[in-house]
Structure 1
């Protein structure tokens, strides 16, 4: 019975990933920890192996379409691949048993808070990012550092291969086209997640039966979510995802029920009011008449 419920959870998370392109690690791991009582390190290990199977599907689509900035992928992987492997070693070096599980749980909660905040920032900036026809100038050192930080977080928590790194790319390269942004992030995430998954297979707490149950639901879920993505309001899905990430993060960090209810209410209110204000502002800017050139009197 537990395997069937875990498979259904994998199906639900796969649908979210297919619809939004993010949320896999940020949803799967806390679901396993909070609802199924899976130890955090085992949840991270199994989730990363599942992601290593799912990620190449979307990455292959973007490679065929040419919506990938290959130079950015190279610099990101230079930092993220060894850092992801190192993140697993850091988690193991912190201790065994309950000590390391508690550290992973707290790190996961912090990463989920960052992921939720990053999704809000992305939504706020997506409507006002400039587009540019000039070639993108790659900044190697900052890009490698983004890869290093993202790799460590992914190696320790399984969160960040999509939600955190894509926000960093958006801030670092605001002129990057939306399709190229998503494609680049998906392709760089493949070696990153594979590196972390291999490290967890060697040093983590990988459970084959748990991983197979998740894959059984996640793979058809991704396909179904991709089919639904054109039919459901993306904004509604993003708001629900932010709410789930925030609640999961607070629960993992030990928040009480009163704080959870207050945070849920505030998130729902802000998630309704702020988008309405942003839409109103864009409408006002679109309707504002352009300034006229001063008339030049003849001589």
Structure 2
């Protein structure tokens, strides 16, 4: 046990605790925040970090799924079709990547590239989700339909895409599949949407974790502090959630995801300014964050105006976020 209590142990414990608080506060961002956080801390190889994050997710997602199952919220048939697509791809994805790339350095860069792209995609899905909600609110919304007609092929394909993304990067079990469900089944009530996603996420993440463990092994010195930090952090964040303005935190997360995704693209070997331009790349990441901070509210106001709403005011971002869903991503 003494061998585990190192400086790295407390770094991971702290990171897990802080990310856990954000997950508890907002219901989003667990995988999308933890994986890049551990990469930037430099606590291990990217493949090991992905494996540990997936293993930890399999632990705490199970609790959420059981809660929703007891409440009767999942659409079991819809979840089954998602699982049929996601689980095989989540298991095969890491093996396909490992079979195509046998050089450790190349694998490291490829994983960072994939995670960077996944983070940018996760940030964009949040914006898309708000836009869909805004149009739904503006049109008066459709009739709720707890048991919609299942669109078999699109649903299985959505599961397969989400499974591949999660299996390789550990990012996207919520962001990709959730937004697809929202578009395919707009009448599905919020509690059904969240419950269905959590129900399919457990076997998805478990399959991805087992596949990555079989290939890369499991570094217990990373897993222990991550679980020890994230679980109480999530509990604390959940208790603080009613007292905190979640919309501000969520918008901040989108900016962080975009900056992290951009930084990981540079770390993966994409150097638009040439090799050795670390300072210029760091400035670029900062500029991306500043531009988003200043321009996103203006762009959002223009989109509202195009949809017949005032540029600012009701429905607020917080009201739009509450309309369809609230979950971890």
Tell whether the 8 Å contact from 1:92 to 1:204 is kept in structure 2 after alignment.
Answer: no
| Structure 1 residue 33, shift from structure 2 partner | 0.8
Map of 1:272 onto structure 2: 297
TM-score, normalization by structure 1 = 0.90
Map of 1:108 onto structure 2: 115
Tell whether the 8 Å contact from 1:88 to 1:204 is kept in structure 2 after alignment.
Answer: no
Q: Residue 232 of structure 2: which of 220, 224, 233 is its match? A: 220
Structure 1 distance, partners of 2:241, 2:194, is 15
Within-5 A mapping of 1:1-299: 1-93=7-99, 94-129=101-136, 130-134=141-145, 135-254=147-266, 256-276=281-301, 282=309
Structure 1 distance, partners of 2:285, 2:216, is 31
| Unaligned ranges ≥5, structure 2 | 1-6, 272-280, 316-329
2:96 aligned counterpart, secondary structure: helix
1:132 aligned counterpart, secondary structure: coil
Pairwise CA RMSD? 2.1
Tell whether the 8 Å contact from 2:69 to 2:195 is kept in structure 1 after alignment.
Answer: yes
2:135 aligned counterpart, secondary structure: coil
| Structure 1 residue 271, shift from structure 2 partner | 3.5
Tell whether the 8 Å contact from 1:112 to 1:248 is kept in structure 2 after alignment.
Answer: yes
Tell whether the 8 Å contact from 1:21 to 1:162 is kept in structure 2 after alignment.
Answer: no
Aligned residues: 287
TM-score, normalization by structure 2 = 0.82
| Structure 1 residue 161, shift from structure 2 partner | 0.7
Moved over 4 A (4+): 274-281, 283-287
Q: Deviations over 1:24-70 (max 9, x none)?
A: 11111111111224211011011000100111122222222222111
Q: Deviations over 1:173-222 (max 9, x none)?
A: 12222222122111111110001111111112421110111000011111
Structure 2 distance, partners of 1:180, 1:275, is 28
* C-alpha spacing 1:40/1:132, structure 2 compared with 1 (3 Å): same
* C-alpha spacing 1:141/1:55, structure 2 compared with 1 (3 Å): same
* C-alpha spacing 1:274/1:179, structure 2 compared with 1 (3 Å): farther
* C-alpha spacing 1:171/1:270, structure 2 compared with 1 (3 Å): farther
| Unaligned ranges ≥5, structure 1 | 288-299
1:230 aligned counterpart, secondary structure: helix
Structure 2 distance, partners of 1:205, 1:30, is 20
Q: Deviations over 1:56-101 (max 9, x none)?
A: 1222222222221111100000010111001111221122411111
| Structure 1 residue 167, shift from structure 2 partner | 1.1
Structure 1 distance, partners of 2:184, 2:144, is 17
Moved more, 217-226 or 266-275: 266-275
Tell whether the 8 Å contact from 1:13 to 1:221 is kept in structure 2 after alignment.
Answer: yes
Structure 2 distance, partners of 1:223, 1:109, is 28
